[in-house]
């Protein structure tokens, strides 16, 4: 009965492209933020529903990923306010075992366990950098920190990971030079 509304259709198309283009990355980020598959899925869904309502405010298409991450972090914070949960340690998270060779699977599994045991202040910037591809200044903006602080956290995060995996410390190596 009602004629097709071109503006609405275009908005829906834009939203669908957004979901299809970013839902996987956002899920992975959410997963490493909360450590639970179901919760990560809910967070991503809530994030996109909020994004839909605020889609008209999105001005720069190039900044869409950072925009979605910001929404997701806020959603996570809201959830945490409503229902406090242990976030310092996500050791007991159900780590998926990808289809890979046993050697690789073991290596990945160890890396994931090590990652899960990192404190959130180290884990989050590292996930943003490695998975999100954000620069230190972009991460600093996301987390509301100084760039130098983010660089320190990233360095320590890698140091801790390598320490758990028994890999060499790059600075120790330098001191031996």
If we measure between CA atoms, which residue out of 18, 4, 92 comes closest to residue 55?
Answer: 18
From 36-44, 60-68, 69-77, 82-90, span contacting other proteins (CB under 8 A): 36-44
In 37-135, which ranges are continuous DSSP H helix?
37-53, 64-82, 102-117, 120-130
Among 133, 134, 153, residue whose Cα is nearest residue 142 = 134
Alpha-carbon distance 19 to 114, whole Å?
Answer: 30
Question: Which residue in the set 75, 127, 138, 142 belongs to the binding site for other proteins (CB under 8 A)?
Answer: 127
Q: Is 23 in the site for other proteins (CB under 8 A)?
A: yes
Binding site for other proteins (CB under 8 A): 1-3, 15-16, 19-20, 23-24, 27-28, 31-32, 37, 41, 44-45, 48-49, 52, 95-96, 98, 107-108, 111-112, 115, 127, 129-131, 135-136, 151-152, 154-155, 158-159, 161-162, 167, 170-171, 173-174, 177
């Amino acid at each position: 009965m009602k004629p097709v509304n071109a503006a609405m259709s275009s908005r829906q198309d834009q939203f669908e492209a957004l979901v299809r283009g970013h839902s996987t990355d956002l899920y992975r980020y959410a997963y490493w933020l909360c450590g639970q598959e179901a919760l990560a899925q809910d967070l991503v869904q809530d994030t996109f529903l909020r994004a839909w309502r605020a889609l008209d405010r999105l001005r720069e298409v190039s900044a869409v990923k950072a925009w979605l991450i910001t929404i997701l972090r806020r959603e996570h914070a809201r959830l945490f306010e409503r229902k406090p949960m242990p976030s310092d340690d996500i050791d007991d998270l159900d780590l998926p075992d990808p289809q890979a060779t046993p050697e690789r699977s073991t290596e990945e599994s160890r890396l994931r366990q090590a990652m899960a045991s990192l404190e959130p202040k180290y884990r989050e910037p590292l996930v943003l950098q490695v998975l999100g591809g954000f620069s230190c200044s972009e991460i600093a903006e996301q987390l509301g920190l100084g760039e130098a602080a983010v660089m320190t956290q990233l360095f320590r995060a890698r140091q801790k990971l390598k320490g758990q995996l028994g890999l060499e410390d790059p600075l120790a190596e330098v001191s031996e030079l």
